[in-house]
Amino acid sequence: MFVNRMPRFEPLSDDALATIEAGVERLAAEVGVQFDHPRALELFHDAGQTVDGSCVRFDPGFLRAQAGRAPSAFTLRARNPARDLVVGGDHMVFGPAQGPPFVRIDGVRRDGTMDDLESLLKLTHVTDALDTPGRNMLEPNDVPLDVRHLVRALAAIRLTDRVWSGEPSSDIAAADCLRLAEIVSGPIEDAPVLFANCNVNSPLHFDVRMLEGILAYAAAGQAVIVTPFLLMGAMAPVSVPAALVQQTVEALAGIALVQLVRPGAPCVLGSFLSATDMKSGSPAFGGPESALGLYASGQIARRLGLPWRSGGGTLTASPAVDFQAGYESMNTLQAAFFAGANVCWQSAGWLEGGLVTSFEKFAADCELLDLLLHQFTPAEVDDASLAFGAHVEVGHGGHFFGAEHTLERFRECFWRPTVATTDNHDRWTRGGSLEHAARATKRWQELLESYERPPLDDALEEELVEFVERRAVELGDPISV
Amino acid sequence: MFVNRMPRFEPLSDDALATIEAGVERLAAEVGVQFDHPRALELFHDAGQTVDGSCVRFDPGFLRAQAGRAPSAFTLRARNPARDLVVGGDHMVFGPAQGPPFVRIDGVRRDGTMDDLESLLKLTHVTDALDTPGRNMLEPNDVPLDVRHLVRALAAIRLTDRVWSGEPSSDIAAADCLRLAEIVSGPIEDAPVLFANCNVNSPLHFDVRMLEGILAYAAAGQAVIVTPFLLMGAMAPVSVPAALVQQTVEALAGIALVQLVRPGAPCVLGSFLSATDMKSGSPAFGGPESALGLYASGQIARRLGLPWRSGGGTLTASPAVDFQAGYESMNTLQAAFFAGANVCWQSAGWLEGGLVTSFEKFAADCELLDLLLHQFTPAEVDDASLAFGAHVEVGHGGHFFGAEHTLERFRECFWRPTVATTDNHDRWTRGGSLEHAARATKRWQELLESYERPPLDDALEEELVEFVERRAVELGDPISV
């Protein structure tokens, strides 16, 4: 796992943070949050908060106090113990794009299929820089909707040995995912194994489906990420400070609910904050507002003592793997490093504002992520690193290609890209003048060819298959897996 | 001018900086620097330093003491006083690519011409984010070599009203540029108007041509930027700390020479630090080593109290305006902001490791630069920014498109790109599926069409033309300008 030992970039002053925190208290107390689930309302009522219809208004300090019951860091166990994840502190967890209905392979855009999803799971398994496939790198549109959670979870378990994410969108799906996790890992309540990413229906609203997910995963002690999805101008005001206030209220309201269900349960403060193109109403990604939002979100999460999920890995609004996709992706993913994010979804493959998972971009993004893992690894500065002897050897106006210091280190001394080229123009032209996206095709194909299925106990697999096939029958869509 | 009011990113500890500074003293004292000019050797000898052939070894503390005589900030006067530049402190100066022999327009790569250079000067004039055209945005290969400096300087004066850079590569060229500057601005010795960027022949060597330039511009009190050009593995050891030591010794040696010529003359500590692809020997740009080098160079320059030129605007090794070019450019230019650079050349148009100035990339880079100017402008955080009233208006689960707070601000609330798209797939496809580079063509053409020549006094222009044409005759290549 990557541990971010570089300093944090913290542009907000203590005064600015205090202003935001006062705004959080006011919004929580005066406008409050709507919860469409009787159990949530009951829990808040029993905790002494003001419940008015489905709206909860929070006493000053209540949300912060509940957040204080959540651990500042915790471990998620993987099927392969070498892949266990620490969530919190200076650790960073990276996962690929989540949720796109469409896939783009070799320039062709079409509906995603289970076969595509399996390839993406394999690519994630072989990519060292990625820690978890999450839940849905792509919608498998050829699998019936009500059994998709079963098929996806089974594929994640079979094809990778990493931590995966449970389906949060109903209590049925949550219970199935929790059962699959127990089959693999035994009792999980006190040693969590799953992420459950729960989006808020911003502004200030949790619907019944997300609440079913939150309540189920909280009761089971799994890692609930509460993520406000804020496109400023649409689900939040057109001001970064206002969006930060709203994001904090929403995330803390969800985390407070988790703590009321199960005090001390692992939680992650989620964020996903970007701007809207006010001309077209379309989402914009990778711009200055998202980066500022990320830096500030990190500061807010650290003051709350909570692990934090950054909204933004390699985000882009671009429909193609082009210059725009490159700079927007670099800007958002890099901001997560500067801001000290603990969990970064959407770090590989995201294209077209999240409507598409692109295989080419998956390979391109993994290079970019690997670059940043190197960039955020502090350089050792000691006398040996100053290479004084190399200067004595080379002298004035010479070159270092053949210096002993160089020869000893040339293989490892610099980061090496997997897709980017340093070819000169002649060589590049002779190779077919392939742009980055075209070269990335070769890279993901190589990665996929290198895939080997991680070992899985036969009896365990049989039990998983039996469970999935039985549940599919019960859900009315029999499948053979 | 842009003033960078965000915090600096400073990854090096005080211990690490002390180690580097001790390394600087040792390298300067024990290996020293070679100067191929008798006047330079004489100046160092008279200042009590050890001159051994053409090599100068420096007493401990000498270089730092000389650097202490240079101002920590100064102003360069432009032909249009509204375009005066502050160099130092939190101010940042941006200039486009410098030096490429080739141009790329609409996907065609060919030798640069004077006509191309004039178009680039016009583009720079109309781009608010750029502060200076510098000296040679492109080599005009259709102009004879020995009069190129005259033609270029005259074009910069006529087509823009911004600060430009003098030719540093010989005393003849320097004298001509200084004379042209005096014709425009009157006496310039105590109120400088020109940059002169002088590259070191790294490692640890100043050749006679660069020294002629340094001596001439120093005597005339113009802003000398001393820039070690370090590709680690070629001109520097394969270690970032070692390269930082070398860079500091080289830059300080040049700055010390300036101070011996004219104490208090304005100087800029230059840097240009990148890695080499150790497989091919080709330069690599935009990687983690350059970014780390930039962060650290800023820290070193601030401890020395010197204005600092970052090596790196929108650098890329890519031969095309593609994903690689996007992320490498974003990484290097952004690092200059985090590092608090005062002067950023190569911030627009650079392609193919600096061999090409691309018109498409010029437009693409200007968007990227504009994005970062917004990203590094602190958000105002006060009660009004929290938009509490918008939440009261919109409530739970609503949307903010029609909120009063939004309607009052929607035109200005977010950064707006000029080339990037947020179009959905259908709209993008209907528009011809144009990738970023293709859309950038339209942008630079629009910019060029918007150009209006800034006013220039007729008598002044006549005097400039007369001087240039007379000097061209004297240099043996008569021209009509």
- Give the mean pLDDT of B50-61: 98
Which of A12, A295, A323, A382 would you mutate first to test chain B, the one with the most B CBs within 10 A? Answer: A323
B323 and A435 within 8 Å at the Cβ level: the answer is yes
The nearest CA of chain B is from the CA of A480 a distance in Å of 35
| Contact of B138 with B100, CB cutoff 8 Å | yes
Which of A299, A366, A383, A386 would you mutate first to test chain B, the one with the most B CBs within 10 A? Answer: A386
pLDDT confidence of residue A357: 98
Whether A101 has its CB under 8 Å from any CB of chain B: the answer is no
Total count of residues recorded for chain A: 481
pLDDT confidence of residue A127: 97
B 439-458 residues with CB < 8 A to A: 440
Whether A105 has its CB under 8 Å from any CB of chain B: the answer is no
The nearest CA of chain A is from the CA of B317 a distance in Å of 5
Specify whether the backbone of A262 is left (phi greater than 0), alpha (psi in -120 to 50) or beta: beta
Set of chain A residues whose Cβ sits within 8 Å of the Cβ of B236:
400
ipTM exceeding the 0.85 mark: yes
Which of A21, A26, A327 would you mutate first to test chain B, the one with the most B CBs within 10 A? Answer: A327
pLDDT over 70, % of chain B? 100
Domain annotation for chain A: domains and CATH numbers: 2-11+65-375 (3.20.20.480)
Which residues have CB under 8 Å from A240's CB, separation 6+? A232, A273, A289, A292, A293, A296, B379, B385
Whether B358 has its CB under 8 Å from any CB of chain A: the answer is no
B322 and A236 within 8 Å at the Cβ level: the answer is no
pLDDT confidence of residue B57: 98
User: In this structure, what token pair is assigned to residue A67?
Assistant: 């957040």
Whether B364 has its CB under 8 Å from any CB of chain A: the answer is yes
A397 and B352 within 8 Å at the Cβ level: the answer is no
> Nearest residue on chain B to A421, judged by CA atoms?
B318
B 225-264 residues with CB < 8 A to A: 232-242, 245-246
Which among A34, A397, A409 is the nearest to B205, CB-wise?
Answer: A397
pLDDT confidence of residue A311: 81
Interaxial angle between packed helices A114-126 and A148-159, expressed in degrees from 0 to 180 and rounded to the nearest 10: 30
Give per-residue pLDDT as tens, A170-203.
999 999 999 999 999 999 999 999 999 999 999 9
The nearest CA of chain B is from the CA of A128 a distance in Å of 18
CA distance A80 to B171: 69
Whether B45 has its CB under 8 Å from any CB of chain A: the answer is no
CA distance A214 to A205: 13
pLDDT confidence of residue B107: 84
> Nearest residue on chain B to A376, judged by CA atoms?
B288
Whether B288 has its CB under 8 Å from any CB of chain A: the answer is yes
pLDDT confidence of residue B152: 97
pLDDT confidence of residue B123: 98
Residues in chain A with pLDDT values less than 70: none
Give per-residue pLDDT as tens, A134-146.
999 999 999 999 9
pLDDT confidence of residue B106: 86
Phi, psi of A301 (to 5 degrees): -65, -40
Give per-residue pLDDT as tens, B397-431.
999 999 999 999 999 999 999 999 999 999 999 99
In which band, very low, low, confident or very high, does the pLDDT at B390 lie, cut at 50, 70 and 90? very high
CB crowding B162-192: b at 16 or more within 10 Å, else e = bbbbbbbbbebbbbbbbbbbebbeeebeeeb
B 373-402 residues with CB < 8 A to A: 374-375, 377-383, 385-388, 390-392, 394-401
Provide the mean pLDDT of chain B. 97
Interaxial angle between packed helices A240-261 and A38-46, expressed in degrees from 0 to 180 and rounded to the nearest 10: 90
Give per-residue pLDDT as tens, B259-277.
999 999 999 999 999 999 9
Which residues have CB under 8 Å from A38's CB, separation 6+? none
CA distance A435 to A421: 9
Give per-residue pLDDT as tens, B355-375.
999 999 999 999 999 999 999
